């Protein structure tokens, strides 16, 4: 098995440009929101074993 060279986190952050805008986003507000949800899901899945949303 070979080591994975890229991670979900690296891929997600590759869409964020130096000025904080999202590359190729139709709408920056939606683009930033999607990146934040993806980062939250990554963090919760990796460190808290939870999803982004919790339904009760």
Q: What is the pLDDT of residues 13-23, one digit of tens each?
A: 888 899 988 88
pTM tops 0.85, yes or no: no
Give the pLDDT score at 9.
Answer: 77
Q: How far is CA 37 from CA 2, 5, 11, in A?
A: 29, 23, 14
> Which residue is listed with tokens 């440009």?
17
Contact (Cβ atoms closer than 8 angstroms) between residue 16 and residue 22 = yes
Q: What are phi and psi of 6, to 5 degrees?
A: -120, 150
């Amino acid at each position: 098995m070979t080591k994975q060279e890229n991670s979900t986190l690296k891929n997600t952050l590759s869409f964020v440009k130096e000025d904080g805008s999202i590359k190729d986003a139709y709408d920056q507000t939606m683009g930033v929101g999607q990146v934040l949800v993806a980062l939250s899901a990554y963090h919760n899945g990796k460190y808290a074993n939870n999803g982004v949303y919790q339904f009760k």
